[in-house]
Amino acid sequence: MAQATPHAQEYLYSKDKDNLLQRMRRIEGQARGIQKMIEEDRYCPEIIQQLTAMARAGKEVSLLLLQDHIEGCVADEIKHNHGGKMIPELIGLIRRVMRT
Amino acid sequence: MAQATPHAQEYLYSKDKDNLLQRMRRIEGQARGIQKMIEEDRYCPEIIQQLTAMARAGKEVSLLLLQDHIEGCVADEIKHNHGGKMIPELIGLIRRVMRT
Amino acid sequence: MAQATPHAQEYLYSKDKDNLLQRMRRIEGQARGIQKMIEEDRYCPEIIQQLTAMARAGKEVSLLLLQDHIEGCVADEIKHNHGGKMIPELIGLIRRVMRT
Amino acid sequence: MAQATPHAQEYLYSKDKDNLLQRMRRIEGQARGIQKMIEEDRYCPEIIQQLTAMARAGKEVSLLLLQDHIEGCVADEIKHNHGGKMIPELIGLIRRVMRT
């Protein structure tokens, strides 16, 4: 993934940047809250419930980024008819998100 | 889940407590790292890759807790033949972990 | 998994046998229906929708079997205090179901 | 999903049709094999293992269709600059495939 990537201005998630950052800060807070629960010897199922809430929140961020990526980079490549490496990469990404 | 829960000493994840806390601190760090990537306008697929790594790490914590829960509370209830509300609750938990 | 497995009478899913068989016959029918959709060149998203319905149905069967397994074999081993290979095997199973 | 869908010739999975049909026939066979295992009172974990193999096979079909859909209908819409209802629909599809 370290290959020459397109210019930053092509990254369309900039419109969602604040939203994405806010979601990630909330996830960071959830990770801290779960540490506190473990320290306090809370009941396993309650902790697992918080972990699944955190996982769902992370998946929403992935989906938002995926949407921005498709509307941005992928659509751009399709319009300009170059190569087409984006779609296999996208499928790989979807597969990875699905696996988690 | 706010029902009268068993005594803290029955919570067998105490043996994994340090391990669990360390994993959660790492997840917290991953959540912070992803914020930095978003702030730096990094390429979407790279960010998504980090999100999936974070999700996998969270799932491992859920599985560790699930194992401790089964070996601890669930086994305890089964041995003492009381009620049997633990198994349906466990299935609910597994279902919830699977859904995320 | 080919190790000496407990006697058939310990398998508690017998009580759910008809239910499980009925669900699997329905899944078999869904698999046939999807073939028909592909042959008729139906719109991809509609076919994917049917595939996800089939996947959900399969997961329900896995969860039913998992519950029967926990209530049956796993509980049995816990009660009789032998070995304890069932719980790690169970965690492996849960992990496998979660991954799909 | 019953809205006026594009012409059949735009459905690019035709190139994968035989492959897709073969995969679905194999899944149908797996569903039948699992029924046989249930009838024979086979050990739960073995049956669950077959269910997860079937689920993985189904997910591969979904991913193939998703790829064909993106390369076909979605790319087509992006190139011709109409509307853009395809991308939100695609995200909905990815979300649905992920949930299962």
Q: Domains in chain B, start-ordered, CATH in brackets?
A: 20-99 (1.20.58.1000)
Chain D contact for C41 (CB, 8 A cutoff): yes
Positive/negative CA dihedral, B74, B75, B77, B81 = positive
Q: Around A93, how many Cα atoms within 13 Å sit in the side-chain half-sphere?
A: 28
Would the pLDDT of C46 be above 70? yes
Burial of residue D65 (CB within 10 Å: 0-12, 13-18, 19+) is: buried
pTM: 0.85
Query: A46 Cβ partners below 8 Å, 6+ apart?
Result: A37, B1
Q: Could you tell me if the ipTM is greater than 0.90?
A: no
Residues of D in contact with A70 (CB under 8 A): 74, 87, 90-91
* Facing B95 at nearest CB: one of C63, C74, C78: C63
Give chain B's end-to-end CA distance (angstroms, integer): 19
Query: Residue C14: what residue type?
Result: S
**pLDDT, tens digit (0-9, with 9 covering 90-100), for B34-60:** 999 999 999 999 999 999 999 999 999
Say which range, A8-22, A43-57, B23-37, D1-15, has the weakest mean pLDDT. Answer: D1-15
List the single best residue of D78, D93, D100 to mutate versus A (max A Cβ within 10 A): D78
